[in-house]
Amino acid sequence: MGITHILNAAAVEKSLKISFEIPSKNSLKGKVNTGVVYYQGRSLNYYDVPAENKCSFNIGEYFFPAAQFIHQALSNPENKVLVHCKKGISRSATLFLAYLMIHHDMMVEDAIDHVIEVIRIRPNIGFLKQLTILNSNLKSRRILQLKNDYS
């Protein structure tokens, strides 16, 4: 695959942090254990977003740092970025949509249309609301920039 960068948008369960005993199959069911320790010793650049897939979770605070991580990685055409979460349809999708909006000047609708041509996504309603707010903020910023450019 040649992946050079990983953005992990899956919250690591506190109970799964370093343990010296083998967890039972049932204790791992439905949990993701791919935190920074999982990737240690591999030649990868890693960024962790401890996001929960809850409508009330403020994923918006990670929009700009995550988008910058992806953008910086992709500034080298040799790099490949894996953006993941538990199911790959809500948290990781939301952060990738934010990247498209921030660094490719896409409106939220265009970013969603662009991504769903390739993969099925389903950000939760709380994340969609936060993307809509980001959309409004970016639109206002672009309008101000245009006004300043023509003043």
Single out the catalytic residue among 11, 85, 112, 134: 85
The reply to whether 55 belongs to the active site is: no
Distance CA 6, CA 47 (A): 6
83 three-class SS: strand
Structure letter (DSSP) for residue 81 = E
Distance CA 34, CA 91 (A): 15
Place of tokens 């970025």: 81
Distance CA 47, CA 68 (A): 11
**Which residues are annotated as catalytic?**
85
